Structure 1
Amino acid sequence: MADEKRENDSLPSSEKDVKKAGTFDINSISTTQEINLNEKEYGEPRVKSDLPEVAGINPDDLEYILDKVNALSLEESLEIMRGILHEHSNDINFTASTYQRMEKLVEGPEAVGLSPADYEYEVKALSGICKFFSPYPEVRSVTTPYDDPSIPVETIRAYFLGFMWAVIGQYINSFFNSRFPKITLSSAVCQTLLYPCGKFLEKVLPDWGVSLFGVRYSLNPGPWNYKEQMFSTIIFNVALGSVYVFWNIQTQELYYQDTWLTPAYKILLILSTQFLGFGFVGILRRFVVYPVECYWPTLLPTLALNKALLVPEKKETLNGWKISRYSFFFIVFVGMFVYYWIPGYLFQALGYFSWMTWIAPDNFNLAAICGSQFGLGYNPLPSFDWNIISSNSPLTVPFYNTLTSYVSTFIGGFVILAIYYTNNNNTAYMPINSSALFTNKGTRYKVTNILTNGKLDEEKYKAYSPPFYSAANLVVYGAFFAAYPVTFLYVLLDQWKLVGKALFRVYKTFIDKLRQVCKHTASSFKALFSGNIKLFFSEFIKIFKDDASIYEGFDDPFTQMISKYPEVPDWWFYCLLLISLVFALVILGVYTELNTPKWTIFFVIGINFVFLIPMQIIQATTGATIGLNVLVELIVGYALPGNGEALMLIKAFGYNIDGQAANYISDQKMGHYAQIPPRAQFRGQVIATFITSFVAYSVVDWVDDNIKGICTPSAQNHFTCADGSQVYYSSSVLWGTIGPKRVFSQQYPILKYMFLFGFLLALACH
């Protein structure tokens, strides 16, 4: 006790307050609030100083950080701060005020007008918080800088609940995939419903279990905990969304009216596209999981929700209200459920609330600009249906991302108006905003009228009609063509430091592995020639053993904590890549009706390898993303003209490699933050993806056969496919069956200039 008293007496008063459990709430400190230092220690009281990085850290985390900060000298803290300034010099997410403050602090106490004691404290605090926790306050608010490896994670009940919600979510999201607007079961809803399920199993399951290899696996290992909740969330999160090739299968069955589709084809297609992206994660994690700069803003709400559910909160009364977050959620949930029946069933006009067009129902121009169904929707109050309103939450992604999206959408509408009212490419003869394709008579385009044996028939095409896009769809494709060079050049010019470090790590790993292979190969043959068979096998096995750690070169606290758990070897991911590739080649070899050469699979793997890293870096740092589907459509359309089904197939692989890799890798980062063992994540993700692939297959088969009029304007219950297979079908006709060569040269020559515009725009912004 005497030693503890002496230790506390040597601490600044702010730390002593932390030592008194429950007496110091760091969240109550404003960004300019004074924290006095011990006068005896520093000779004078400290003056007021801005410490914006302190706000938002809970008391337990602050105590942990201050213990580490107290061990630093001023020189060590300044060296850490200079390193932070160097590492985050181009980091758009590092708080600008904090960065500027650090620049002043490294110049000395005179530059910031602080006393020596005050200066030392602030340098230590800011450098310590960034070094021993995270440089981003958003991350610090939903994570902890320490880990308890003894907490059970990979439990039987966690697996059961994760798989259960993965199946439920995949079923609901696949079933409503053909509806417009879609009804989706989001990860946040599953998380919230997962919590009472976990608490229920905690109460009812007996503590029965078995011991394997010294580890006991019980049906009920104790209270449902935060890591179990996160592990189950990772399991269903990776398999929640409807599979991308749902649209392939539906388009082939309903639009192309293919009769050769077999269950084996559908299952192989789903499995190969779902797992091919997984194989890239082994390399990709070095670029977007372990680097601190890749903090994935879209993941933070998931971590925040699970933390709110599982971490005890302080009971407070605010403005006369006293209610827990969970109770508040269910009150709002019940209210939303009851309310949905009003716009969804009783008064559907509230869904597309085109009240401005009601002012003058016969005014065509008013409907084109303010209408909700086929107009541009310039309407300050467009809907009372959350399924239509919902988009990326401004609380999820950085503000600049949200602002850019809304400004771009607003400006894009005027571009559409300009194209439409100048009748550019005959767009004025069609609805201003539609994802459908039209004939020269304004009717819906039917691709079967121009095909013979699955390929374009030139005579039928001339007798029927070329396809026409609406003005809005034309602008969307133009924006895609401009976005690809902007994306690539942005990463190349502005994020080269992050990419360079990751490439160097990959290069170093490759060289080390090559040396290891050469060394042990030589040793094994030497042993064989000398007759030492035992040594030969020993050295031969070492060729395949990977002694290098994937965590090498990463020294942030989250990586240091996760390194306590066995890592996932790269070859696990490569095996999945190989199996998926074999499935894809089997599809192309057996189902010759696709008329698709095998080299196309290797092409999409190559193009994803080039674009995957820069695109995932953008998503990991900004929350924004863009798919490779349009780029693949363009290239394959040139390479395989007149074959819409080949284009759809390669497009599915081209897009889904990137989409699934992003899905898997983002959950890897979530597990990285929550300290979920990497091998447990791998097992959960792989099994859940495998199970839900068969769920998706069953659903697409059922809806195509049993929903009357599906994918037509007269379909029951809005199953029109307007935001799904209809778009997929339109692009397959224009870029596959018709081909981009004909499109660029005859119908839409302006599109070919959008790539050049994108390059010039990226250079100008840089």
Structure 2
Amino acid sequence: MVFKRKPPGRTRSVYATSFASTLAGDNEPYGADRTHPSVVDSAGDPLDDEDSPFEIVRATVSNKDDGTLPTLTFRFWLLSILFTAILSFANQVLAFRDYSILISPIVVQLVSFPLGKGLARVLPDWHVHLGTFSFRLNPGPFNMKEHALIIACANSASAVAYAVDIIVVRRIFYQVDRGFLGGLLLVLTTQCLGYGLAGICRRFLIRPAAMIWPANLVSVALYRTLHEEADLEALETDAGGSGARATTRMRFFMIATLGSFAYYFLPGYLASFLGAISILCLIHPHSLLLNQLGSGRHGLGILSFSLDWNNVISFLGSPMVTPFWASLNLFVGFVIVCWILLPIGYYSNWWNAKQFPIIGADVYDINGKSYPVLSVLNKTTWSLDETLYKQYGEGYMSFYFAISYGAGFATLGAVVVHTMLYHGREIMARLRDVRTGAEDIHARLMDRYQEVPNWWYVTVLMLNTGLAILTCHLYDLDLPWWGLLLAVLMAAVFIVPIGIITAIANQTPGLNIITEFIIGYLLPGRPIANMTFKTYGYISVVQGISFLGDLKLGHYMKIPPRHMFLAQMIGTIIAGVINLATAYLMMNIVPNLCAPDGNVAATRWSCSNTRTFYSASIIWGVIGPKRLFSTTESLYSPILWAFLIGALLPIPCWLLARRFPGSWLVYVHAPILLSATSLMPPARPAMYNTWIIVGFVFQFVIYRYRHHWWSRFNYVLSAALETGTALGALVVFFAFQLRRVHLDWWGNNDLCRADLDHSNTS
């Protein structure tokens, strides 16, 4: 993998510079730097010490290790549990919003730094004895390893437990609730099962130097910046200097956070139309055609944009962190699907498209009305009643929803073929490295610490698998034991290829569609079983990848593996309990939670993620893929060809990249292109437009022409915007929405008319 960097035009931090090159797209995303062990720096001078064979890692990660630094300190326990609890509660509340937003770990990384430093100053250096166990209350300065371990624990709460959606859907939409304990077992087993799989294959995805995990380099660069500047401040202060340099980033973070917090009250409460501004709708708000083309919420989003940071990052993440070449792939894929294929199919009335909304994520009857799901289910078994289904008629999808599933099918085929073409040799080389014991300097530095025994991970896998089978049986999740084992097997097969793409391209294709597809064939007409199988198969991979990412961070930071394992497991358990308790709290105190109608303001609590989850349970569980795709009478049977199209697409991309190695073609990434609309629904088109503009400005223009500012403040600004927006959303909820205090004026209405009759083509 050749990571190239332009000669620096000004003096700047070497580790920030190289990492910036990768994010801005100045590197080739594939290949390998095979110049090691004759390692040279960017100027061509030989390095004195052994280092990584990859320049981006050499410039970002230290090849030294201080094994005396403490990690499992009192400060770690205090701050990690505090932030894990706060994040799991806040993110679960925010996940119910129409445009959900999550407080990211980078926010905790910044906020925990001054708190850790403050505790190091004020805590007394006492030796605390608890029976035979003793520890120092304040073992010295707050260090990078301790800081990183806090974030590893809190990162377990950065994404809400996926299984909570099963519980919410069952209670709100299917009107079934089996109690808190059953829900808790479901949440914890789905969150932890993937950890066992991840630990078993960690030698292939963590120890090899080629597995870079770019997102972790953002954290490593920020850790080094914060702590090394703090050390410099101490030296300057001892020498009689002002020591002001180290506070610049933190001051910038606080100012930007306050600004973001104050601004959020405009799009979040006072003027919610700022969440999706459509130029076409402003031209003619009563034109159905312009509403369909221009609406950022209910249409294609052409010439629309958002001035609400919550909307921009709620599903796609921050464009200020994503590599620009990856952002461009995502946007091109979005344009092809949403602005080319969708209007052609809709206005040509393929699959009776005009009977349904142009952008719709529900399931409809033949008249375009919401499908009466409960009316076709047997209330005893919660499975499809064939007689009632024939009485009420078939269920239908919008054309938009149908092709989004086609894109998901194509992505799965592309992931497999892309991995074989681009990384097949590398995988084999890594396997040979494992057999021969060849490792880079970071792996050898980690060898001084006790590794987590394999039997720990096998125990986690087996224990959670057994508890999952028991949970499915005792709490009416309708999934037989063989279905649970099949879900685990699918996760085991895909975790390595998906982990490779994540480790190299910072994108994680999901198994949600293929898991729904398979169990829909095996257990047709059973929505609860479908949701459960999808969660165990899909989220186990997601959780495993997240676990591996944190292990790689610990690898770079030289944190003892057993300490990382402990922090991640504790954080996951705490977060799972609080996620579920918060969900029950929201269902009890928020009236009409997850209702599809209501104010179009961006602050409504319509649970876009949960509603999409519910719609998928109808499509794949109640109706089933056999009725939708596998019969000659089915409208949607052509979608199955997407598997083949996706499998073939990486081949010309790979051939062209080899034929023209110095061209832009090396940046074309078929799985990312095809997965661009995988989040639609619930993501909306207006997000993509603003997202790519922000990414272009910060990851291309500012990076190239204001690089000193970029390297110092880009990630800090991204974290500050997220923090301020999330805090603003929580304040608006508890201060106004929970008390039903609403401002009724035109600024809190959508500029586009969502109520126009979609069946009227005039």
| TM-score of the aligned structures, taking structure 2 as reference length | 0.76
Aligned partner of 1:383 in structure 2 is 306
- Confirm whether residue 57 of structure 1 aligns to residue 14 of structure 2: yes
Aligned partner of 1:442 in structure 2 is 368
The one-letter code matched in structure 1 to 2:495 is L
The one-letter code matched in structure 1 to 2:609 is G
Question: Taking structure 1 as reference, are residues 590 and 354 closer, same or farther at Cα in structure 2, changes over 3 Å only?
Answer: same
Question: Taking structure 1 as reference, are residues 56 and 408 closer, same or farther at Cα in structure 2, changes over 3 Å only?
Answer: same
Aligned partner of 1:623 in structure 2 is 506
Aligned partner of 1:704 in structure 2 is 587
- Confirm whether residue 597 of structure 1 aligns to residue 480 of structure 2: yes
Aligned partner of 2:268 in structure 1 is 344
Unaligned 5+ runs, structure 2: 19-26, 655-762
The one-letter code matched in structure 1 to 2:440 is D
Unaligned 5+ runs, structure 1: 1-28, 34-51, 62-90, 107-119, 509-551
1:187-586 aligned within 5 A: 187-210=105-128, 217-259=135-177, 261-312=178-229, 324-379=248-303, 382-390=305-313, 391-413=316-338, 414-452=340-378, 453=380, 454-503=382-431, 553-586=437-470
The one-letter code matched in structure 2 to 1:442 is G
User: Residue by residue, what CA displacement relative to the aligned partner does 1:320-345 show, whole Å, maximum 9, x if unpaired?
Assistant: x9971111111111111111111111
User: Residue by residue, what CA displacement relative to the aligned partner does 1:725-766 show, whole Å, maximum 9, x if unpaired?
Assistant: 111111111111111010012131111111111222233333
Question: Taking structure 1 as reference, are residues 620 and 122 closer, same or farther at Cα in structure 2, changes over 3 Å only?
Answer: closer
- Shifted more, 137-146 versus 595-604: the winner is 137-146
- Confirm whether residue 760 of structure 1 aligns to residue 648 of structure 2: yes
1:173-188 aligned within 5 A: 173-188=91-106
User: Residue by residue, what CA displacement relative to the aligned partner does 1:255-276 show, whole Å, maximum 9, x if unpaired?
Assistant: 11114x1222101101110110
Question: Taking structure 1 as reference, are residues 121 and 761 closer, same or farther at Cα in structure 2, changes over 3 Å only?
Answer: closer
1:229, CA displacement in angstroms? 0.9
1:1-40 aligned within 5 A: 31=7
Classify the secondary structure of the residue corresponding to 1:189: helix
User: Residue by residue, what CA displacement relative to the aligned partner does 1:230-265 show, whole Å, maximum 9, x if unpaired?
Assistant: 110111112321000011111111111114x12221
Classify the secondary structure of the residue corresponding to 1:747: coil
Question: Taking structure 1 as reference, are residues 240 and 639 closer, same or farther at Cα in structure 2, changes over 3 Å only?
Answer: same
Question: Taking structure 1 as reference, are residues 342 and 586 closer, same or farther at Cα in structure 2, changes over 3 Å only?
Answer: same
Which residue of 519, 542, 549 corresponds with 1:636?
A: 519
Distance across 1 between alignment mates of 2:56 and 2:135: 35
Aligned partner of 1:170 in structure 2 is 88
Q: Percent identity?
A: 31
User: Retained in 1: the 8 A contact 2:88–2:157?
Assistant: yes
Distance across 2 between alignment mates of 1:627 and 1:741: 22
Distance across 2 between alignment mates of 1:673 and 1:754: 39
The one-letter code matched in structure 1 to 2:292 is A
Higher relative contact order (CA 8 A, sep 6+): 2
1:306, CA displacement in angstroms? 2.3
Distance across 2 between alignment mates of 1:709 and 1:157: 41
Distance across 2 between alignment mates of 1:286 and 1:719: 45
Aligned partner of 2:68 in structure 1 is 150
Distance across 1 between alignment mates of 2:398 and 2:42: 60
User: Retained in 2: the 8 A contact 1:710–1:719?
Assistant: no
Question: Taking structure 1 as reference, are residues 276 and 415 closer, same or farther at Cα in structure 2, changes over 3 Å only?
Answer: same
User: Retained in 1: the 8 A contact 2:384–2:525?
Assistant: yes
Distance across 1 between alignment mates of 2:75 and 2:171: 39
Distance across 2 between alignment mates of 1:322 and 1:615: 39
Question: Taking structure 1 as reference, are residues 648 and 407 closer, same or farther at Cα in structure 2, changes over 3 Å only?
Answer: same
Distance across 1 between alignment mates of 2:443 and 2:610: 42
Aligned partner of 2:638 in structure 1 is 750
The one-letter code matched in structure 2 to 1:368 is Q
User: Residue by residue, what CA displacement relative to the aligned partner does 1:489-517 show, whole Å, maximum 9, x if unpaired?
Assistant: 111222112322444577x6xxxxxxxxx
User: Retained in 1: the 8 A contact 2:593–2:607?
Assistant: no
Aligned partner of 2:558 in structure 1 is 675
Aligned length: 622
Distance across 2 between alignment mates of 1:606 and 1:404: 31
The one-letter code matched in structure 2 to 1:399 is F
1:481, CA displacement in angstroms? 0.4
Question: Taking structure 1 as reference, are residues 163 and 141 closer, same or farther at Cα in structure 2, changes over 3 Å only?
Answer: farther
Distance across 1 between alignment mates of 2:280 and 2:192: 47
User: Retained in 2: the 8 A contact 1:743–1:749?
Assistant: yes
User: Retained in 2: the 8 A contact 1:94–1:136?
Assistant: no
Classify the secondary structure of the residue corresponding to 2:60: coil
Distance across 1 between alignment mates of 2:127 and 2:385: 66
The one-letter code matched in structure 1 to 2:462 is L
Distance across 1 between alignment mates of 2:206 and 2:76: 24
1:214, CA displacement in angstroms? 11
Distance across 1 between alignment mates of 2:335 and 2:89: 35
The one-letter code matched in structure 1 to 2:84 is A
1:686, CA displacement in angstroms? 0.9
1:30, CA displacement in angstroms? 8.4
Aligned partner of 1:691 in structure 2 is 574
1:304, CA displacement in angstroms? 2.2
1:185, CA displacement in angstroms? 1.4
- Shifted more, 388-397 versus 640-649: the winner is 388-397
1:630, CA displacement in angstroms? 0.5
Question: Taking structure 1 as reference, are residues 234 and 32 closer, same or farther at Cα in structure 2, changes over 3 Å only?
Answer: closer
Classify the secondary structure of the residue corresponding to 1:217: strand
Question: Taking structure 1 as reference, are residues 130 and 213 closer, same or farther at Cα in structure 2, changes over 3 Å only?
Answer: farther
User: Residue by residue, what CA displacement relative to the aligned partner does 1:64-91 show, whole Å, maximum 9, x if unpaired?
Assistant: xxxxxxxxxxxxxxxxxxxxxxxxxxx9
1:721, CA displacement in angstroms? 4.1
Distance across 1 between alignment mates of 2:608 and 2:46: 49
- Confirm whether residue 724 of structure 1 aligns to residue 700 of structure 2: no
User: Residue by residue, what CA displacement relative to the aligned partner does 1:514-556 show, whole Å, maximum 9, x if unpaired?
Assistant: xxxxxxxxxxxxxxxxxxxxxxxxxxxxxxxxxxxxxx72421
Distance across 1 between alignment mates of 2:653 and 2:416: 13
Distance across 1 between alignment mates of 2:454 and 2:391: 55
Question: Taking structure 1 as reference, are residues 740 and 122 closer, same or farther at Cα in structure 2, changes over 3 Å only?
Answer: closer
User: Retained in 2: the 8 A contact 1:297–1:398?
Assistant: no
1:573, CA displacement in angstroms? 0.7
Question: Taking structure 1 as reference, are residues 128 and 392 closer, same or farther at Cα in structure 2, changes over 3 Å only?
Answer: farther
User: Retained in 2: the 8 A contact 1:191–1:233?
Assistant: yes
Distance across 2 between alignment mates of 1:707 and 1:697: 15
Question: Taking structure 1 as reference, are residues 456 and 139 closer, same or farther at Cα in structure 2, changes over 3 Å only?
Answer: same
User: Retained in 1: the 8 A contact 2:191–2:543?
Assistant: yes
User: Retained in 1: the 8 A contact 2:39–2:47?
Assistant: no
The two structures, once aligned, show a CA RMSD in angstroms of 3.1
Query: Computing the radius of gyration over CA atoms, which structure comes out larger, 1 or 2?
Result: 1
1:302, CA displacement in angstroms? 2.0
1:198, CA displacement in angstroms? 1.1
Question: Taking structure 1 as reference, are residues 761 and 129 closer, same or farther at Cα in structure 2, changes over 3 Å only?
Answer: farther
Distance across 2 between alignment mates of 1:761 and 1:608: 24
